[in-house]
Amino acid sequence: MDQDAAKQLAEDLRRWKDAHHGAGAGYRPEIGPLPPRTLSESPLEPLYTPADVDPEALRAEAIPGAPPFTRGLHPGMYRQRLWTFRQYAGFGSAAETNARFRKLLAAGQTGLSVAFDLPTQLGLDPDHARAAGEVGRVGVSLASVEEMLRLFEGIDFGAISTSMTINAPAAVLLAFYQVAAEERGVPAARLRGTVQNDILKEYAARNNFVFPPGPSMDLTVDVLEHCTQTLLNFYPISISGYHLREAGCTAPQEVAFTLANGLAYLQAARARGIDPERLGEQLSFFFASTSELLEEVAKFRAARRLWAKLLAERFGIANPKALQLRFHVQTAGSLLTSQQAENNLVRVAIQALAAVLGGCQSLHTNAFDEALGLPGEVSARLALATQQILALETGVANTADPLGGSYAVEALTGRLEADARALLDEVDRLGGAVEAVEQGFYQRRIAEAAYRYQKDVEDGTRRVVGVNCFTQSVDGAGAARSIQSLDPALESEARERVAALRRKRGPKAAEAALAELNEAARANVNRMPAILASARARCTVGEICGVLRQAYGEYRPRS
């Protein structure tokens, strides 16, 4: 393009933007005013042009599979291998959840993801007083290796990749998984999967913590060290922005706080003597995907690019595999509505599409009735089919980074990276992620963003179909009929199983293993060998975490 033509194009674009920023340009008669910002409060341009994109960045990052991985981790992306279809499931007893797992696998699911109930997440046995009313309610009740064996009855530990959403007692549940697999003849080196093990986001957003931050970080690093030595094909941590986003943060906050937590774990591991270049190959991440499609695609691209740059800058990592940000995505549960619940099928499909266009490595699609209760079999099957349709019928998996080069997506990618880096600078000034969490910085920023979003919904600035507009279209009766129900006898049966285990096991072996764990906890050496010994002696999650509670106390956050 010659100079005169370029000037004319620039003038035409300026006039277009002026016209579409003018009075009435942001109003559509059929639905009212356009939102002035993205879901994450970034300003929206009415038109993106070549002037909004850095041509040097486009040229430098033209090929997927090369640092900083803006366009994807692998040269062919899904042409080489599809993402893992990993549906999150868990309710009631291990036997009930096993039945659901086997049905999902038969329907084409390619990876398992285990949801644990609140007592298990808090390191409590089902017969503990604080577990009353919560056993098996939001996940599977799992107190011992015996229950882990039931959970995977008829499923080959060596043939399936398993993700476990567990944090404060992550070391304990990982030990149960490893011991159960070994007893089925599958050595630790063959196991594939992920244990979440991300304690910092618990203090910031999710609140399922047990121990104070210092000992909790030590336990997290214990798992990192164990996996780099023993579980070589296992990801020892899934650094989670999902829960931060579900608590109400924006996309730049999700990227910044998640990556800041990742840097904190790497620094703690390096202090233990673990090589960041080696550990970087076994890190994984977990993000949310909302309905703001273009911003979400840009978010995933920006996170990948920024993480590669940070590891090179701060740790001197050159190994391309260690620079890769591998991530799982779950569609946004907080955006599902109980009103007109069938509309959630559309929301989930759009959110899943954003994750795929953004280059995720594995994906969970929420069931449309989750705002009403545990998903039923029909809704769980539809959630899995959403991924299968995306993979096989839409063509979006046939081209690497199909939205790369879009003026809008590239401009949003650049803005998200810049905004996330500015937030990271603030975290650094506070002393890093641990200090930022302890000072309430994450919590304040997330709460402010959540308040602004809710205010926008309530005053109609942000439209939600079926909630504050088009409220008369459909009722939710169909969704309500599919909700999974739990047997009221579940809790007493879980208590009896724990009591039976204690009667059956060798009491001296259990006592000796717990005494060994107590010594390891107070000596502040890696506790994984002692936790594994306790698991083999059939000690329960409550007993093992009880020893750690005695050594470290329980965390009580400042209000």
Task: Note the pTM of the prediction, 2 decimals.
Answer: 0.92
- φ, ψ at 124 (rounded to 5°): -120, 140
- Nearest partner of 207 among 238, 246, 177, judged by Cα: 246
Q: Burial level of 266, CB count in 10 A (0-12/13-18/19+)?
A: buried
Q: How large is the angle between the packed helices 441-459 and 407-430, nearest 10 degrees? A: 140
Q: How far is Cα 250 from Cα 445, in angstroms, rounded to an integer?
A: 9
Q: Burial level of 292, CB count in 10 A (0-12/13-18/19+)?
A: buried
Number of Cβ within 10 Å of residue 158's Cβ equals 12
> In a 3-state reduction of DSSP, which class is residue 86?
strand
* Cα distances (angstroms) measured from residue 279 to each of 73, 137, 223, 297: 17, 35, 12, 27
Q: How far is Cα 117 from Cα 139, in angstroms, rounded to an integer?
A: 4
Report which residue type is found at 229: Q
DSSP secondary structure, 318-381, as one string: --HHHH---EEEEE-GGG--STTGGGHHHHHHHHHHHHHHTT-SEEE---TTTTTSS--HHHHH
> What pLDDT is stored for residue 480 in this prediction?
44
Q: How far is Cα 456 from Cα 436, in angstroms, rounded to an integer?
A: 28
Cβ neighbours for 511, distance < 8 A, ≥ 6 positions apart: none
Cβ neighbours for 465, distance < 8 A, ≥ 6 positions apart: 340, 343, 473
> What pLDDT is stored for residue 436 in this prediction?
96
Tokens of 130: 């604080």
What residue spans define the domains of the chain? 58-74+83-435
> In a 3-state reduction of DSSP, which class is residue 112?
strand
- Nearest partner of 171 among 204, 138, 217, 239, judged by Cα: 217
> In a 3-state reduction of DSSP, which class is residue 189?
helix
DSSP secondary structure, 40-59, as one string: T-PBPPS---GGGS-HHHHH
Q: How far is Cα 9 from Cα 201, in angstroms, rounded to an integer?
A: 48
Assess whether the previous peptide bond of 68 is cis (omega < 30° from 0): yes
Tokens of 283: 């890190």
What is the 3-state composition of the chain as percent helix, strand, coil, each rounded to the nearest 5? 55, 10, 35
Q: Torsion angle of alpha carbons 244, 246, 247, 248, nearest 10°?
A: 100
Each residue's pLDDT expressed in tens, for the chain with a length of 559 residues: 577 776 777 777 777 767 766 544 555 666 666 666 788 878 777 888 888 888 888 888 889 999 999 999 999 999 999 999 988 888 889 999 999 999 999 988 888 999 999 999 999 999 999 999 999 998 999 999 999 999 999 999 999 999 999 999 999 999 999 999 999 999 999 999 999 999 999 999 999 999 999 999 999 999 999 999 999 999 999 999 999 999 999 999 999 999 999 999 999 999 999 999 999 999 999 999 999 999 999 999 999 999 999 999 999 999 999 999 999 999 999 999 999 999 999 999 999 999 999 999 999 999 999 998 888 889 989 999 999 999 999 999 999 999 999 999 999 999 999 999 999 999 999 999 999 999 999 999 999 999 999 999 999 888 999 999 999 855 544 444 556 667 778 899 999 999 999 999 989 999 999 999 999 999 989 999 999 999 999 999 999 999 999 999 999 887 6
> In a 3-state reduction of DSSP, which class is residue 84?
strand
> Is 383 within 8 Å of 336 (Cβ atoms)?
no
> In a 3-state reduction of DSSP, which class is residue 532?
helix
Q: How far is Cα 202 from Cα 225, in angstroms, rounded to an integer?
A: 21
Number of Cβ within 10 Å of residue 246's Cβ equals 21
Tokens of 235: 């990801």
Q: How far is Cα 535 from Cα 538, in angstroms, rounded to an integer?
A: 5
* Domain 58-74+83-435 classification at class level: alpha beta
Tokens of 427: 């975290």
DSSP secondary structure, 194-239, as one string: EE----HHIIIII----S-HHHHHHHHHHHHHHHHHT-TTEESEEE
> What pLDDT is stored for residue 22 in this prediction?
54
Q: Burial level of 13, CB count in 10 A (0-12/13-18/19+)?
A: middle
> What pLDDT is stored for residue 55 in this prediction?
85
DSSP 82: P
Q: Burial level of 504, CB count in 10 A (0-12/13-18/19+)?
A: exposed
In terms of phi and psi (left: phi > 0; alpha: psi -120 to 50; beta: otherwise), the region of 470 is: left
> What pLDDT is stored for residue 39 in this prediction?
82
Q: Torsion angle of alpha carbons 384, 387, 391, 392, nearest 10°?
A: 50
Q: How far is Cα 511 from Cα 202, in angstroms, rounded to an integer?
A: 31
Residues pairing with 163 in the sheet? 113, 194
